[in-house]
Structure 1
Amino acid sequence: MGAEKPDIGGCDCHYCNGHDDGHGHNHAHGHCRDGESHTSPSEIILALGLLAVGMTVRTWGAFPGAAVVWKVALILSYAVAGWRVLRGAVRGIAAGRMFDENSLMALASLGAMAIGEMPEAAGVMAFFSVGEYLQDMAVERSRGSIRALMDIRPEYASVAR
């Protein structure tokens, strides 16, 4: 056995805490602790609500301070939907994973903000969070189905010769 790796917070799995299995690639990952998604439904609803408010005020807001309201709403939407992605990007880069999905999403969304496209940055993060949540749900359902199949398998088998 190797030395114990320090926990980087959040998930207890090998992917989030990093591991070297000797064959040079990351394994699929779609969970934190069993059944816990990386993104909570309340965060998704809040991010999408703030995105809707920001886009509505940006499009039809004809009141003093509308520009501030839509920008703040979109920044908050981005922060709510994207904080886990940004944290994952920083941790991934620190662990030597320069081109994982978190670092690429962070690069794309920060690039959108840099060129003044805050609605796109907030939208990309919000919808990426929705996709991650749906993926986590699908993975957990699949795991549950596999567990159910394993529960009905026989404990032993007799071989007739």
Structure 2
Amino acid sequence: MENRLTCHMMGKPPHKQAHDSSACKSDEANGRSQMAQHMVLLGEEFSACSALLSALGNENRQAIFLDLLRNWGGLRTYEIAEHVGLSKPTVSHHLSIMKKAGIVSVEHIGTVRIYHPNENTKPWKTLSQLAWKAYRFVEEEASKETCQRMLTFGKERNIDGPDASN
């Protein structure tokens, strides 16, 4: 997203933006196709994070994950069940989903299973990058919407730009 499409990126202070409608017009011409490309890329990245988001989209799994974070040394299923107030089979089901999503790992010691937050940081980094890109995309789109409102405002009042007289 290096190629910024917003008025505020023109290097002018915010109070002068209202006078530069020509910059908004040229931005609008290229903006639609670039916006579509950005949306496709964000969609692909979102899909890559969907398992993680889905796994953490359930309140019970959030409680389980927080319990594991508070007890970094690991916990057995029955310990988690006691801490979060769920049955052992329910906790096992949620742990299975979280394990498939890559946010929980299990250590087998004989017949005992000890669950930990997965130490692989790649899913978290990917999610963090997706959140940042989505934030930037929304921020840029909001700025373009502001440009469009400025153009509409100017047209409604017959204002052409910085040289227009009152």
| TM-score class, shorter | 0.3 to 0.5
User: What TM-score, normalized by structure 1, do the two folds share?
Assistant: 0.39
User: What TM-score, normalized by structure 2, do the two folds share?
Assistant: 0.38
More helix as a share of residues: 2
Name the larger-Rg structure: 2
Higher relative contact order (CA 8 A, sep 6+): 2
